[in-house]
């Protein structure tokens, strides 16, 4: 069930909000837990049993991992933590990477005239996200940063909460533990604050991202012998915009939904395309993922505390993991390594700091954006060969123009949307629209809030009703 579907918008969401609003406050977590499992089961089907099994294991482990004065971080607790993390990672590896791994083994054995059976496993929706939530839960408890949950309903609420279950934001346990007790009293205020944020995300998704999708697909589907400079750049820039408005739109909807239910979910985007360095880009893009890898991978590996060589090693490890976390394909690994290399170069030469001169900042911002656009070509392409073909045409200008298929996809309406979306490249780094829309009381913020909730939400709802919505891009991860 997608946030941008008629079933969710006109039936599931109103019913859930009504139940939370009118039923006793002490029922909130139970209502959210049940609604979340129904939400997940509607799309995942039998994979709901896998989610429940993972929750049972991690909930049981949480209480046993909690430090106490007599046995703080004992070897037994450490062994249990390692075992639980191996279980969580093992589930992710089997379901997400077994097919890819067996396919590579099969390719290798074919070189010697043999064959190897390839596993074909359907990918459970949201497995990358709920795995990271489970790991965050047990690690934060083991470190003594938060107490384990004794109420299984509260645990299900955290892990399976439908606003963030399928595609984030990745909510570390420490960020939400204090919100799980049901102290909420101003329910109408929460709904009033969260709905504009949800409406903003719906507009991003339905009006911009979904409008650009057919054009982007036509560009990336162009065969190599028909690819041109114009098609390559149109596809790369179009996908850069589509991915941002799709994923940041989902995050706005998730944060708005969380707020309407009484939870403050972490921010996930902060104008990433205004970044002056690639280092800054990763402080602004998918911030919840960056924070997760920082806290549970980069810092435990030593961070930047043990000299330059080990810092570069840790960055490489984290970005290899970041690439493969997104999908079982060599294109994601190349994309992760590409960004890791850019971060190492910036750190090595001191280019990770924002220049003082205005002209230098403008130049670095343009360069960072171009580097990010090239990276998205790997992220989107079906294979490495297609990515390099497309990048090759981006680097060599020609005058061949567009194919008939791409021209047919580039309608007047999509040209207008594309031009309007391009404004995101020129906007300043601050203020970020989401938090501004949710809480600011200035005249401009109020006007934006009214526009989004009336004209924007109405137009987006019409598009949804016409069946023009598509699944969120990050559902595949």
Contact present, 372 and 240 (Cβ < 8 Å): yes
Q: Which of 133, 326, 386, 393 is catalytic?
A: 326
What is the rounded CA–CA span in Å between residue 427 and residue 271?
8
What is the rounded CA–CA span in Å between residue 322 and residue 359?
33
Q: Is 133 a catalytic residue?
A: no
What is the rounded CA–CA span in Å between residue 274 and residue 17?
36
User: Token pair 């509607």 is at which residue?
Assistant: 42
Contact present, 165 and 38 (Cβ < 8 Å): no
Neighbours of 454 (CB within 10 A): 11
205's tokens: 């998704």
* Residues known to be catalytic: 326
């Amino acid at each position: 069930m997608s946030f941008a579907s008629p079933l969710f918008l006109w039936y599931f969401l109103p019913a859930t909000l009504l139940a939370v609003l009118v039923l006793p406050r002490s029922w909130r977590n139970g209502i959210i837990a049940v609604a979340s499992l129904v939400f997940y089961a509607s799309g995942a089907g039998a994979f709901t049993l896998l989610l429940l099994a993972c929750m049972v294991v991690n909930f049981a482990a949480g209480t046993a991992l909690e430090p106490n004065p007599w046995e703080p971080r004992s070897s037994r607790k450490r062994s249990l933590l390692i075992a639980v993390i191996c279980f969580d990672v093992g589930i992710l590896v089997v379901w997400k990477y077994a097919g890819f791994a067996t396919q590579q083994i099969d390719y290798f054995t074919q070189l010697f005239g043999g064959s190897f059976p390839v596993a074909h496993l359907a990918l459970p929706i949201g497995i990358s996200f709920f795995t990271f939530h489970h790991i965050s839960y047990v690690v934060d408890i083991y470190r003594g940063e938060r107490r384990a949950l004794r109420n299984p309903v509260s645990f299900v609420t955290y892990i399976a909460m439908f606003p963030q279950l399928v595609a984030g934001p990745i909510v570390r346990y420490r960020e939400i533990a204090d919100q799980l007790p049901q102290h909420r009293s101003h329910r109408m205020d929460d709904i009033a604050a969260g709905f504009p944020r949800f409406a903003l995300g719906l507009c991003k998704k339905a009006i911009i991202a979904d409008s650009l999708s057919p054009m982007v697909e036509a560009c990336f589907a162009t065969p190599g012998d028909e690819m041109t400079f114009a098609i390559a750049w149109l596809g790369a820039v179009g996908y850069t915009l589509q991915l941002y408005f799709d994923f940041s739109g989902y995050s706005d909807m998730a944060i708005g939904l969380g707020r309407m239910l009484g939870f403050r979910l972490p921010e996930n985007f902060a104008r990433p395309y205004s970044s002056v360095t690639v280092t800054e880009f990763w402080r602004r893009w998918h911030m919840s993922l960056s924070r997760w890898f920082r806290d549970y991978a980069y810092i435990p590996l030593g961070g930047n505390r043990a000299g330059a060589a080990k810092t570069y090693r840790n960055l490489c490890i984290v970005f290899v993991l970041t690439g493969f976390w997104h999908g079982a394909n060599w294109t994601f690994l190349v994309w992760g390594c590409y960004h890791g290399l850019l971060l190492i170069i910036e750190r090595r030469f001191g280019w990770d700091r924002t220049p003082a001169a205005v002209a230098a900042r403008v130049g670095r911002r343009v360069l960072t954006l171009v580097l990010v656009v090239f990276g998205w070509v790997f992220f989107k392409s079906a294979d490495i060969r297609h990515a390099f073909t497309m990048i090759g045409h981006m680097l060599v200008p020609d005058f061949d123009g567009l194919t008939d298929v791409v021209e047919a996809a580039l309608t007047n309406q999509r040209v207008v949307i594309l031009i309007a979306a391009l404004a995101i490249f020129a906007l300043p780094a601050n203020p970020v629209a989401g938090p501004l829309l949710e809480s600011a009381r200035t005249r401009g913020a109020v006007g934006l809030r009214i526009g989004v909730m009336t004209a924007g939400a109405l137009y987006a709802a019409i598009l949804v009703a016409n069946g023009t919505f598509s699944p969120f891009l990050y559902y595949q991860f």
